[in-house]
Structure 1
Amino acid sequence: MEKIGFSGTFDPITNGHMWVINEARSLADEVVVFLSENPAKKPRFSAEERKSIIALSCAQQGWDNVQVVIVKGDYTARAAKKQGVHCLIRGIRTTADFDYENLIQQTNVDVLQGAKTIFVMPPRDLGSVSSSFVKALEGPIGWNWIMKKFVPAPAYHAWVLSWLRREWETLWDYDTIDATAIAHADDWFVRLTGATMYGGPQRHYHNLDHLVHGLCEIRVWAANTRPEPADVAIVKQAFWFHDAEYGPAASGSDMTAEEASARLWLDCHLGQEREDAAALIRATDHFQEAHVEHRLKDVLLSVDLAILGQDDEVYGNYTRAIRQEYIHLPDVKYRQERCAALAHMCRKAEAGQLFGNAYFAEQYNERAIENMQREMAQLAAA
């Protein structure tokens, strides 16, 4: 077969979609992905953005025989036939899918005189994966770690950036500030999430995942404990910036990363009052934690440490990311230093001192001890 088409809204494209595209590649010389604008579905991304995400996802797999075409104001089957594509491919996951797709197939051929359809059945692990399923995951703590399993990396990156963007706009109240202030805040969002900060390829743990997880923790903490809204905003501001500068300051001075991040925050000119959040960022400096006080210090430190009390899968992602962060260390030295750090935190947890905030202690302390003890045993046995 010369060409085969695959149609959908792809908001977002999932690993199930990618499987169907790959099946199509085995049946034809060229695959044309017909992307429906379908504004009635209120997609997260524009058609052009979705087209780019699909193209990047296919390119990442080395699939050079896939092109993406946006369908505007036409039936996909009819648009396909106009472009010389006489056969479409669809994935069937359930009997309900078959009934629906069979009706569409009959309409495409008998009513529209469009392309015919062939059906394929995805493997069991992809049988429940759809765009609707993926979108429904968003929100609770850990949602990003779960979503990552079901979508290709470019789709995941775009979705996380979109989620962070909405969090950022809410923090700075985009509905009320003027165009100049919005443009300034936009510039800082791009900077913070870009390649030199949280979005950088060298960021294996203190990255966009870290931002998403921490902001979710703050949201849930606020919903359960009802602090003053101003305090929630200060914690969020500090969290966005507290690891913006990671490692030694770019200047090569002896300035700590926390101090560099605090100064970056003070220089950003976002919001009206910045000293409070700067002091909170400085209070997260673990080398200074006994000497720097702030009324919200225990909250921010607990948000940062909450990853230790997650379920097995999330904690496993965390430990792998930490190893990559210290990939420059030989295995023996890494195991020694990591075990020492874990033993220190485990002792604090056993003494009830790891999570200074009572809410986080109740949620995570017991599980954190289990996770750290298990990791130390694994490192010792390696």
Structure 2
Amino acid sequence: MIRAVYPGSFDPVTNGHIDIIQRGAKIYDEVIVLVAENISKIPLFTLEERLSMLRESLQHIPNVKVDSFKGLLVDYIKKIDVRIIIRGLRAVSDFEYEFQQALTNKKLYPESETVFLISDIKYTFLSSSMVKEIAKFGGCVEDLVPECVAKKLYEKFNVKR
């Protein structure tokens, strides 16, 4: 069984994330979507809310599991005996950061491999930050995120839709 981990903060999960997860699930026997407790970011949603939204959004994909971690990704993947890390690339601007992360993970855990999946063209502009900004000012996010996420965003920003 070949398993892979797709880590991120998912604050919130977008349709771009879902696309990468679905595609990863076609390649690997199991994909673990790993919600990071990123100390350098102040999340809009709690860890529990992000986990819940992901589980609801991904329930239709049987070989996907959702988990969370705090600390180094390589410590988590060593612990569960996974060597493949999936990362999505939207644009060239993502590459430098992702490349640096992949090399760092390789240095810390030489058995790890990072696999980059190129974003579908319709999601190249999409980011969680952009979605939050649109929702905050009452814009429509329903075609950018799963339905349960749109609902939570509107509730969080007290937007009537």
Q: The TM-score by the shorter chain falls in which range?
A: over 0.9
What amino acid is aligned across from residue 65 of structure 2 in structure 1? Answer: Q
Match of 1:134 among 128, 131, 136: 131
Shift of 1:113: 4.0
Aligned to 1:252: none
DSSP-derived class of the 2:57 partner: helix
Distance 1:123 1:39 in 2: 29
Relative to structure 1, is the Cα distance of residues 81 and 163 closer, same or farther in structure 2, using a 3 angstrom cutoff? same
Distance 1:139 1:154 in 2: 16
Match of 2:144 among 138, 146, 150: 150
Distance 1:25 1:111 in 2: 26
Asked if 2 retains the 8 angstrom alpha-carbon contact of 1:87 and 1:117, the reply is yes
Distance 2:40 2:97 in 1: 19
Unaligned runs of at least 5 residues, structure 1: 165-210, 214-382
Shift of 1:111: 2.9
Asked if 2 retains the 8 angstrom alpha-carbon contact of 1:78 and 1:114, the reply is no
Aligned to 1:99: 96
Aligned to 2:29: 29
Asked if 2 retains the 8 angstrom alpha-carbon contact of 1:78 and 1:113, the reply is no
Distance 2:11 2:111 in 1: 24
DSSP-derived class of the 1:20 partner: helix
Structure 1 position 212 matched with structure 2 position 160? yes
Distance 1:115 1:68 in 2: 20
Match of 1:71 among 69, 72, 80: 69
Shift of 1:139: 3.4
CA distances 1:233-264 after superposition (whole Å, capped 9, x unpaired): xxxxxxxxxxxxxxxxxxxxxxxxxxxxxxxx
Higher RCO (Cα < 8 Å, 6 or more apart): 2
CA distances 1:39-93 after superposition (whole Å, capped 9, x unpaired): 431111111111111000001xx11221111102x21133123212110111111
Aligned to 2:58: 58
DSSP-derived class of the 2:86 partner: strand
Relative to structure 1, is the Cα distance of residues 128 and 114 closer, same or farther in structure 2, using a 3 angstrom cutoff? farther
Shift of 1:2: 1.8
CA distances 1:306-347 after superposition (whole Å, capped 9, x unpaired): xxxxxxxxxxxxxxxxxxxxxxxxxxxxxxxxxxxxxxxxxx
Shift of 1:4: 0.9
Distance 1:16 1:30 in 2: 19
Q: How does 1:102-113 map to 2 (within 5 A)?
A: 102-113=99-110
The sequence identity of aligned pairs, in percent, is 32
Relative to structure 1, is the Cα distance of residues 160 and 39 closer, same or farther in structure 2, using a 3 angstrom cutoff? farther
Unaligned runs of at least 5 residues, structure 2: none
Shift of 1:5: 0.8
RMSD: 1.6
Asked if 1 retains the 8 angstrom alpha-carbon contact of 2:135 and 2:153, the reply is no
Distance 1:81 1:113 in 2: 11
Asked if 2 retains the 8 angstrom alpha-carbon contact of 1:81 and 1:114, the reply is no
Task: Tell which structure's C-alpha radius of gyration is larger.
Answer: 1
Equivalenced residues, count: 161
DSSP-derived class of the 1:41 partner: coil
Moved >4 Å (runs of 4+): none
DSSP-derived class of the 2:125 partner: coil
DSSP-derived class of the 2:136 partner: coil
Distance 1:37 1:20 in 2: 20
